[in-house]
Each structure stands twice: as C-alpha cells, then as structure tokens.
Amino acid sequence: MQGSTDGKKRVVVVGAGTAGLSAGLHLGRLARRRKDIRVILVDENDIHLMSHLLRDYLTKKRGADEVSIPLETALDGTEIEFVRARVTGIDTGRQIVKTDQGQQGYDYLVLAPGSVADYGGAVGTREHAYTLKTMDDAEALREHVVELFKRAARESEDEECKSMLTFVIGGGGVAGVELAMSLSEWLDELRLSHWVPTEQIEVVLVEELEVVMPSYPRQVSEIAESVLREKGIRHLYGSPIVKVTPTHVHLSDGVRIPTKTVIWSGGVRANLLIKEAGLRVYADGRAVVNSHLQSNYSNIYVIGDAASFVDPRTGLRAPDVAQVARREGVTAVQNIYADIVGGISRTCRGGIFGYIVSLGERRPLVVIGERVFPEPLAKLVERVRDFMALYRLGGVKFLSRCLSRRRGEVSGSESQEEAA
C-alpha cells in the first residue's frame, strides 16, 4: 500500500497536540476547495489538551472543559477525517502508518507525536515518581496528595507526618517552577481544610544546574528565586536526583529527603516512534529536520517536541513553546500544499515574540526579549492568553466553537445543580 488508491493525495497527521492540530486545521483550510487532498488526523485520545493548564487542573482551579477540547468540536465544519487509534509503527518503504485500529496509507506524513519523560538515569524514578503530562496524570496525583493529607491528619508521629507532606519536584525549568508555585498555594488550601500544621508541609524544588529556569533571562530567574523564597519553597541546586524509592529521594551529593511524593518535571525525549521509523535523530531522540521541517524522507515532516528544528537565521534550536509548535505545524502543511499544487516552499522561523511565566496565582510575568513586564500588564495578558491561543490554533470560527461549548457545559452543570 503506497499512499492513495483513490487518486487523492493523502496527508496523515499523527498527534493532536498544538503542533499536530495546528497542522491539520491549517491544511484543512488550504484544501477546502480542492477535491484531490484528504487530511487524516490520528491520535489515541479524542481531545486536544492544553498542557500548560494541567497544573490548574491538578489544583482544581480549572475544570476539564477549560483544559481540553473534544476533537469533535475542534474539527466540526472541516473535511478533516479523525481516526482515534494508537500508532504502533511506520513503514516508510510502503508509506504506511500502522495503528492498533488498522493501517493508514500516506503520500505525505506529518509527525507530531510529542515527547515522553527523560529520567536521566535516576534509579527508581520511572517506578515511583509522578509526571504531569495528561489529565489522568493530574487526577492520579491529586488523589494521592489529598489521601496523604487525610492520613497526615490522623498521624501521631511527627517524622512520618512530615514525610507525607514533603513534596519534591525534580527539575527547575519553567514547568517545574510554575508547578512548585501552584502546588504551594494548593497545599495551603488543603492545610486549612485538614487542620495540618504549616510547619509540617514543605515543597522542595531540585535543579541539577546552579540556577532555576536556566534558559530564561537572568532577571526572570532572579525574580523566580525571590518568589520561591517568599513562598517558603526550598530549592536545591547543583545536585540532581539519582535515586527515588517509595520513602526517599536521593541526590548526587548524598542528601536524602524523606518523602512520599516525587513529581518529575525534568527533561523530555522525543517519542520512540521517531527513531523506530528510521528517521535521523539526535541523542535525545528528536528528528533531524531541515529549514522546511522535512526529515531525511522528503515526504515526512516532523514538528513540535518530536523535532529538533534549528532556526537558520540564528543557528539556535527553536524553543519548545506553543507559539513555535503552532508555527511549525502551519509551515509544514504550507510546504506540503505547495508541493502538491506547485508552489514555493517556505522556511520556518524559530524565534518567539514573548512569553508568560506564572509565578503563582497573582504573580504572572510577561517577558518580551530581555524586558520583563510585571503586573498589571502581565495580568491582562494572562487573561487573554487562552483566548488568543485558541484563535491562533484555528481562527475565529474555531474560537467561537470552543467558547460556545464551554458556555453550554457551564449552563448544563448549573441546571443540574438547580434540579438537585
């Protein structure tokens, strides 16, 4: 089976994260008036997850409808075909995507399967540490934390209570720092509802380098460190986690931290699907791509966390942020469309205009270049960020569909409460 059998060009997009869904939606718009292009989106889940909001879902500041979008809603009104299936392999010779629900032939393939946690050789981390990559991860961690508070409220031994209420986060990048801030605020709420002494609760942030958020401007790192101290979050630098057991975390300098909870927020690796497909990869498993986002197979494009795209203008690898993922998705399918219709291929850009760092519920920062803008501008930008993300993902109609669905779910839940 090679590509299409019906005379149409089959473009298969694997993954419905930011990069993959951006690619699918944009190609769907480009090909709307053509009858010779089929767009097929494959993902094992039936939702698009806004992963940067998972920490708010964990701490119950947002509901499921605020951090995810059903793909049925996302793809409504488009000609995109959605296949819910887990991809098990790629046969590049026969141009087939293998899934647990059958095979999908392709003429062009866009790979955006995302990343997986990279534990860096730390013993026991895979078995005993929590991650925060999915809604199921967040729910499991939430149940675990709440159960620990219930047990701690009944525990008479101070040392055992302290270990129950010590929460270690491995990784001091932006994800780890933002999680530490949100977790600290949520734990304070749980303390009040479970009558647990403040001194028994501790959040520990472990970073193997000598500074938190090392890839960000120094001013941002310094502000983050200041807020960590202000919130009483202990941060340990220069000694990575080397071992995790059900009762302790071991650091490289010999420090042992009694704890029942380790949350891994360290490095990531590309999905193994990329390497197993025979694509050229770097040491972290990310695909080597050119400036047009093509792999060593000219009809296979790799985007998002699965690719290591080097911006030709700067010579630097593009950062793993949503705005770059969206741009990669759009650029990849623009180039596919150009190849089909005889247009000119485009070069992707890896730079970012700015970003938001959330240092707790009331401490957002907007960073543009080397300039840091604190509140009130940061609060305003944070409020409109999610709406802008939806608009950039799929345009005005897509934003309208998502907001209509949210309003519908809120009205439905209010009606149920009234009935009860």
Which residue, 264, 295, 329, sits at the end of a domain? 264
Instruction: Give pLDDT, residue 417.
Output: 43
Instruction: Give pLDDT, residue 362.
Output: 64
Residue 309 and residue 328 in one domain: yes
Residue 189 and residue 220 in one domain: yes
Instruction: Give pLDDT, residue 377.
Output: 66
Instruction: Give pLDDT, residue 397.
Output: 72
Instruction: Give pLDDT, residue 135.
Output: 96
Please tell me the total count of domains within the chain: 2
CA 283 to chain centre: 21
CATH number, domain containing residue 132: 3.50.50.60
Residue 259 and residue 151 in one domain: yes
Instruction: Give pLDDT, residue 416.
Output: 46
Residue 260 and residue 287 in one domain: no
**pLDDT tens column, 183-229:** 999 999 999 999 898 999 999 999 999 999 888 888 889 989 999 99
- Whether residue 178 lies inside any domain: the answer is yes
Instruction: Give pLDDT, residue 387.
Output: 72
Instruction: Give pLDDT, residue 35.
Output: 87
Residue 130 and residue 107 in one domain: no
Residue 129 and residue 194 in one domain: yes
Residue 67 and residue 162 in one domain: no
Residue 155 and residue 250 in one domain: yes
Instruction: Give pLDDT, residue 218.
Output: 86
Which residue, 227, 243, 264, sits at the end of a domain? 264
Instruction: Give pLDDT, residue 318.
Output: 87
Instruction: Give pLDDT, residue 10.
Output: 97
- Whether residue 407 lies inside any domain: the answer is no
Instruction: Give pLDDT, residue 406.
Output: 66
- Whether residue 321 lies inside any domain: the answer is yes
Residue 201 and residue 252 in one domain: yes
**Paired strand residues for 49:** 68
Residue 159 and residue 220 in one domain: yes
Instruction: Give pLDDT, residue 4.
Output: 57
Instruction: Give pLDDT, residue 379.
Output: 65
Which residue, 264, 287, 308, sits at the end of a domain? 264
Backbone angles phi, psi at 238, to 5 degrees: 80, 0
Instruction: Give pLDDT, residue 219.
Output: 87
Region of residue 238 (phi > 0: left; psi between -120 and 50: alpha; otherwise: beta):
left
Residue 275 and residue 173 in one domain: no
- pTM comes to 0.89
Q: Could you list the residue range(s) of the whole structural domain that residue 338 is in? A: 9-117+269-352
Residue 42 and residue 82 in one domain: yes
Give the residue ranges of the chain where pLDDT is below 70.
1-5, 362, 370, 374-383, 406-420
